[in-house]
């Protein structure tokens, strides 16, 4: 299945990888739209970005001001050495922030009307749950599916998947890190207008592995854009036992050229957009 539209930032293609997991490939189709959406999210307006994605309209912030723009620019500027005042962040943190937002955009593009997503982080140093999406039943009476995201931007994707992503997912699968999942899912359920008592009853299903999906997403060069490489990267997903193929997802953002060079280019484009914004009245 391929999802594409002229104002969609990404083209998304789904396919099987092996008997243990399914794959999703993300290709940037509209880098202007993508860079603007990323900027809007980092300026604290994920709700505005979600509206733009849903309505397939040109990206623009609901509002901004000089201080907000300056704060956002710092988050996309590389600063490897500590400096006061701060003028940027280490490259790996900046790139991780950009990729987490791209991951959220990808999820939002394919999310149905009954899907609710945790907003992405707006800081390069944020820790904790990368992302979670819940899908409610048609009558909003139950959680039909919850998906836990792990987003990684690294030159060593195989090692990271084996040594970091899988152990983290196994912890989740064993329900040893429940509190933040419950809190995030409860907040998302309440976005649908469901009252707190009912939401707190419904949220228990997020701990039921039979309704849970896992999505590991990596930013990758085109050398990973083939069947053999994808199988090698996501080998070991079967460590999450007792679930089926469709519940284990291996997603790839395929970029042109070298990985860090691509993130430098998209960061430059994001900063250029932020600098040229005129204040938009909400």
Q: Which of 74, 66, 79 is nearest to 42 (CA)?
A: 74
The predicted structure's pLDDT at residue 282 = 39
Domain ranges of the chain: 2-123+130-276
Q: Is 67 exposed, middle or buried (0-12, 13-18, 19+ CB in 10 A)?
A: exposed
- CB contact at 8 A, 59 and 33: yes
pLDDT band with cut points at 50, 70 and 90 for residue 180: confident
Predicted confidence (pLDDT) per residue in 24-52, tens digit:
999 999 999 999 999 999 999 999 999 99
Neighbours of 252 (CB within 10 A): 25
The predicted structure's pLDDT at residue 124 = 65
pLDDT exceeds cutoff 90 at 72: yes
- State the chain's mean pLDDT as an integer: 93
pLDDT band with cut points at 50, 70 and 90 for residue 251: very high
pTM of this prediction? Answer: 0.94
């Amino acid at each position: 299945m391929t999802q594409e539209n002229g104002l969609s930032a990404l083209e998304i293609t789904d396919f099987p990888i092996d008997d243990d997991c399914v794959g999703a490939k993300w290709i940037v189709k509209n880098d202007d739209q993508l860079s603007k959406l990323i900027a809007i999210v980092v300026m604290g307006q994920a709700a505005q970005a979600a509206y733009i994605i849903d309505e397939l309209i040109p990206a623009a912030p609901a509002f901004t001001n000089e201080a907000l723009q300056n704060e956002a620019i710092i988050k996309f500027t590389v600063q490897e050495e500590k400096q006061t005042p701060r003028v940027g962040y280490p490259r790996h943190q900046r790139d991780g922030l950009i990729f987490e937002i791209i991951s959220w955009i990808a999820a939002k593009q394919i999310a149905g009307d009954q899907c609710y997503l945790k907003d992405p982080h707006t800081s390069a140093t944020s820790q904790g749950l990368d992302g979670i999406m819940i899908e409610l039943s048609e009558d909003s009476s139950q959680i039909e599916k919850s998906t836990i995201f792990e987003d990684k931007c690294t030159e060593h994707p195989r090692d990271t998947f084996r040594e970091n992503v899988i152990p983290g997912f196994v912890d989740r699968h064993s329900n040893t890190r429940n509190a933040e999942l419950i809190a995030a899912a409860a907040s998302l359920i309440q976005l649908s207008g469901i009252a707190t008592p009912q939401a707190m009853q419904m949220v228990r299903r997020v701990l039921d592995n039979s309704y849970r999906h896992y999505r590991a997403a990596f930013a990758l060069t085109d050398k990973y854009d083939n069947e053999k490489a994808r199988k090698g990267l996501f080998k070991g997903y079967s460590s999450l036992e007792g679930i089926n193929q469709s519940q284990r997802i291996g997603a790839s953002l395929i970029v042109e050229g070298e990985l860090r060079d691509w993130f430098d280019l998209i960061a430059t484009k994001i900063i250029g957009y932020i600098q040229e914004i005129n204040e938009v009245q909400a």
